[in-house]
Amino acid sequence: MIPINKKELTSIQILEAALRLFKNYGIEKTSLAMIAKEVGITKPSIYYHFSSKEELIEHSFNHILRNYKFSDFFHVNELNKENFGEKLYQFGLDFLPTTEDDNYELIKVLNEFTLLSNRNNNFKQRLVSVQFEFINGFRNILLKGIDEGVIKVSNVDNYAQLLALVIDNIARSIMIGFNIDYKEVWKETVNSLLKEEEKI
Amino acid sequence: MIPINKKELTSIQILEAALRLFKNYGIEKTSLAMIAKEVGITKPSIYYHFSSKEELIEHSFNHILRNYKFSDFFHVNELNKENFGEKLYQFGLDFLPTTEDDNYELIKVLNEFTLLSNRNNNFKQRLVSVQFEFINGFRNILLKGIDEGVIKVSNVDNYAQLLALVIDNIARSIMIGFNIDYKEVWKETVNSLLKEEEKI
Amino acid sequence: MIPINKKELTSIQILEAALRLFKNYGIEKTSLAMIAKEVGITKPSIYYHFSSKEELIEHSFNHILRNYKFSDFFHVNELNKENFGEKLYQFGLDFLPTTEDDNYELIKVLNEFTLLSNRNNNFKQRLVSVQFEFINGFRNILLKGIDEGVIKVSNVDNYAQLLALVIDNIARSIMIGFNIDYKEVWKETVNSLLKEEEKI
Amino acid sequence: MIPINKKELTSIQILEAALRLFKNYGIEKTSLAMIAKEVGITKPSIYYHFSSKEELIEHSFNHILRNYKFSDFFHVNELNKENFGEKLYQFGLDFLPTTEDDNYELIKVLNEFTLLSNRNNNFKQRLVSVQFEFINGFRNILLKGIDEGVIKVSNVDNYAQLLALVIDNIARSIMIGFNIDYKEVWKETVNSLLKEEEKI
DNA sequence: TATGAATGAGCCTTCATTCAT
DNA sequence: GATGAATGAAGGCTCATTCAT
């Protein structure tokens, strides 16, 4: 257990209250007053922990990115010749958010930050690097699949990008409420790179 | 030429100023004062044309949706056995925004509305129906491809959704600045549904 | 029948719409926009008839004062030795507003003007002269009563003032919703000036 | 001495500035900007003390009602057989406002609230209960007078209402500037309930 | 470590009013 | 006789931020 002092504790409470509110009301519509109330402290107290709203937003952003790692969902080393399609499909389902789970909350607030990134290069770069991590992760998975001889993709890079795009956009679509049969779409996507006899 | 009176003219100027500012600063951060200044009128004048900021936002939304039709980009009836893959690929490229073109502006502001839709069911429904229009459009294209015997998809519905997702997310990725080789990704996607001998 | 032209007609419509709204929303909270809407014309049209909101208020005030005459309710010449107490009592009841009658509307809006008169000497003077008309009216009634030998007041002036006060305040109390038994109070007041054997 | 902290101090300053302005300009025409200027603070500071203009108005109302108690002016227990008429007359004079005294200010602003009560049931009820307190107070005074055998009223309840009406309306008339000889009217009223030999 | 008290800038909105047509 | 289009001034209110304590 990492020992934690009072200051750090309050900081984290502020961060998490902020994220909770960002998710529900949007970042711009969440005021420091709302955050303070949620935590149970006063507005100026926030300034003891974060020098401005902007800094708080940035820390919140870091806070969630820490819990948004490709390798937490897609475990390359668990894949093998026998389970490749099945497992990849399953990893995707685990990643895709359900209305109640934590990942749902996480992606919902990530969505808010994505918008903000339009006007903030700092955020944009961080999101780009997350995206790169996903593309790279899928690239490794594809290479494994090729090694195992179960997939048939012509261009690994393009396919890695395609997978990243699809999984990301399915998540977004669920978020926004598009009523697509996302499990089937993901299965179709996985299948599209498997050899005929490996399809799931 | 459609004759247009002064009120309509100013209304459109307001609408377009609003959209320009929404695109650059976000909807919530764009104030009526900014819009008024951009048009060159005073703040209360806006109220002569729109009864509230909310109504103005809604009209802006309608204004852009009018120019965001699947059939403006993807012309099913131009497709045939000979050009199917090539044309579909080309339609996609035309749809995908380039930093300078009008479609870029349009998608960028549409992105702002997407965020807003998280907290506004009216907008959400409209965006869902746009999404549905795209899925349905791709469905018709796929059926044509099947008719012509050039594609090999197992499940038309899933593939239509997949295409809609991919094209939408490529657009978004360009917007956000993800540095992917989107032409190649789109080509890969189109190819993934063509029969071997038809690939482009 | 007095012939009336279109301008006068609209003027009166504006006046009456204004009074209706003043009664319900108060003078200050009634805007020209509301009045225009009530009449079915546009806001600037009001300026064709009245040079400012203030002038409109003033005309409205005159308009109601024209219908608020002591002699319309208290008919001195109908009083005689036999019916004096009874009739005076009855006149009061006729004057006192009931929730549904026209007098109620009239007094309610008069109430609004009374407040305004705190800050407008023009109005104040007019209300004072109405009050004087009432006091003077009651004075004449009392003199008649003395002539007929049915009342016993020591000082006519004081009693006239007292009657004016009581009848005015009963009206106000009804307006405001004070739950007093106003008929009995008025009867008591009338009785207090009658000789013992004349009491009603 | 009651110790008072800074918040309470400013709150009271705001309250009293508000009442001063309400009295002179009316409640609706008094803006928060005016109040802030009068106190010497900024507009948003008011919101630290009162959550809205409405709440400020309500607190102002409570503030004045606290100083408007029947028993502060009419001391029943000081009345006895010998001084009854004289004292009751005197209490009334003390209650009736003179242009310069505090009671004048108080009743003037109370008048503004009366108007507001037309459209606010909360205020209406409070004013009604004040009125009831006065009627009840006079009732007790009358009962005392009967006990002492100095008055001759037939119906105590009606007379109590009459007294409340008269004293209230004299106050209002002074306020509005009606030029009546209010001392005489009040004396007449008091006399009208005394037995012949007790008259003042 | 946090709060009490306050502030400047800015928000959306409403108002009475104007004036060319 | 009335309207269309616009405006300056002002309304109540919220915001991120400050700073002495």
Query: Do the chains contact at A124 and B180, CB–CB below 8 Å?
Result: no
Considering all CA atoms of chain B, what is the largest pairwise distance in Å, rounded to the nearest integer? 64
Q: CA of A67 vs C1' of E1, distance in Å? A: 29
For residue C172, the model assigns a pLDDT of 83
Calpha distance B132→A177 (Å, rounded): 12
Task: Give residue-wise pLDDT tens across range D94-113.
Answer: 999 887 777 888 888 888 88
DSSP 3-state assignment of A65?
helix
> C197 vs C143, which has greater pLDDT?
C143
Which ranges of D149-198 would DSSP assign to H, the alpha helix?
Answer: 156-176, 182-191
pLDDT at residue C1 in the model: 46
Chains in touch with A (3+ beta-carbon pairs under 8 Å) read B
pLDDT at site B104: 83
The answer on pLDDT for C141 being more than 60 is yes
Mean of pLDDT values over D113-124 = 86
Could you tell me the distance in Å between the CA of residue D12 and the C1' of nucleotide E20? 52
Residue B42: CB less than 7 A from any atom in strand E? no
Q: C6-64 maps to which CATH number?
A: 1.10.357.10
Which 35-94 positions of D have CB less than 7 A from strand E? 41-45, 47-49
- Alpha carbon distance D113, C26 (integer Å): 13
Residue-wise pLDDT for C69-107, tens only, equals 999 999 999 999 999 999 999 999 999 988 777 788 888
Q: Which residues of A touch B108 (CB under 8 A)?
A: 118
- Give counts: helices (H), strands (E), chain B: 10, 0
Chain B interface disruption, residue of A104, A115, A151, A168, most B CBs within 10 A: A115
How far is CA B121 from each of CA A176, B113, B117, B124, C4, rounded to the nearest angstrom?
A: 10, 12, 6, 5, 54
CB-closest option in B24, B180, B192 to A161 = B180
Q: Higher pLDDT residue, D173 or C134?
A: C134
Domain with CATH 1.10.357.10 in chain C: 6-64, 69-198
The C-alpha atoms of residue A194 and residue A149 are separated, in whole angstroms, by 9
Angle at the Cα of A169 from the Cα atoms of A166 and A170, rounded to 5 degrees: 85
pTM of the model: 0.88
Taking only the tens place, the pLDDT of each residue in D128-159 is 899 999 999 999 999 999 999 999 888 899 89
Is there an interface between C and D (3+ Cβ pairs < 8 A)? yes
A196 at interface of B, judged by CB pairs closer than 8 A? no
Spell out the residues 6+ positions from residue D18 whose beta carbon is closer than 8 angstroms to its own.
D30, D35, D56, D57, D60
What does the pLDDT look like over B92-133, one tens digit per residue? Answer: 999 998 877 778 888 888 888 888 888 888 898 898 899 999
**Who wins on pLDDT, A105 or C15?**
C15
pLDDT digits over A49-65, tens only? 999 999 999 999 999 99
Confidence of residue B2 (pLDDT cuts 50, 70, 90): low
D78 residue type, one letter: E
D133 touches chain C (CB under 8 A): no
- In three-state secondary structure terms, B192 is coil
- C163, C189 contact by CB (below 8 A): yes
CB of residue A44 closer than 7 A to nucleic acid strand E? Answer: yes
What's the rounded Cα separation, in Å, for the pair D141 and D193?
12
Residues from chain B that touch A115, judged by Cβ atoms under 8 A, are: 26, 111-112, 114-115
Contact D166 C170 (CB under 8 A): no
Res D3 pLDDT > 60? no
What is the percent of chain A with per-residue pLDDT over 70, rounded to a whole number? 98
3 state DSSP class of D195: coil
Please state, in angstroms and rounded to a whole number, the distance separating the CA atoms of residues A126 and A118. Answer: 12
Over range B14-39, report the average pLDDT: 95
pLDDT tens figures, C36-50? 999 999 999 999 999
Q: Is D23 within 7 A of strand E by CB distance?
A: no
How far: B45 CA to F14 C1' (Å)? 23
Give me the residues paired with residue D194 across strands.
D151
State the pLDDT at residue D71.
95
D130 touching C (Cβ < 8 Å): no
Cα(C127)–Cα(C121) distance, rounded to whole angstroms?
A: 10
Structure tokens at A166: 């699809």
Task: Kindly report the nearest CA distance between residue C3 and chain D, in angstroms.
Answer: 38
> In this structure, what token pair is assigned to residue D15?
């309250």
Instruction: Kindly determine whether residue D192 and residue C188, on different chains, have CB atoms separated by under 8 Å.
Output: no
Name the amino acid, one letter, at C9. L
Give the bases of strand E that a protein CB approaches within 7 Å: 1-20
CA of D29 to C1' of F9 (A): 14
Say yes or no to pLDDT of D117 above 70. Answer: yes
| pLDDT tens column, A26-48 | 999 999 999 999 999 999 999 99
Which nucleotides of chain F are near protein (any atom < 7 Å from a CB)? 1-20
Tell me what the mean pLDDT of segment C53-58 comes to. 95
Residue of D nearest to C154 (CA): D188
**How far is residue D83 CA from its own chain's centroid?**
25
Comparison of pLDDT for C43 and A101, the residue scoring more: C43
**What is the rounded average pLDDT of the residues C7-14?**
88
Q: What is the pLDDT of residues A111-141, one digit of tens each?
A: 888 888 888 888 888 988 998 999 999 999 9
Higher pLDDT, C97 or D73: D73
- The nucleotide whose C1' lies nearest the CA of D31 is F11
Mean predicted confidence (pLDDT) in C19-25: 92
Measured CA A45 to C1' E3 distance, in angstroms: 7
How many whole angstroms separate alpha carbon D124 and alpha carbon D116?
Answer: 8
Class of D69-198 in CATH: mainly alpha
Distance from CA of B44 to the nearest CA of A (A): 24
* Token reading at C102: 């026209």
pLDDT for residue A1: 46
The verdict on A53 touching B (C-beta cutoff 8 Å) is: no
Closest C1' nucleotide to A11's CA: E1
Chain B residues in contact with A195 by the CB 8 A cut-off are none
Q: Tell which phi-psi region holds residue A149, choosing left (phi > 0), alpha (psi between -120 and 50) or beta.
A: left
Q: Does D117 touch chain C (CB under 8 A)?
A: yes
Q: With an 8 Å Cβ cutoff, is A99 touching chain B?
A: no
Rounded Cα–Cα distance for residues C146 and C159 (Å): 12
**Token pair for C8:** 């006068």
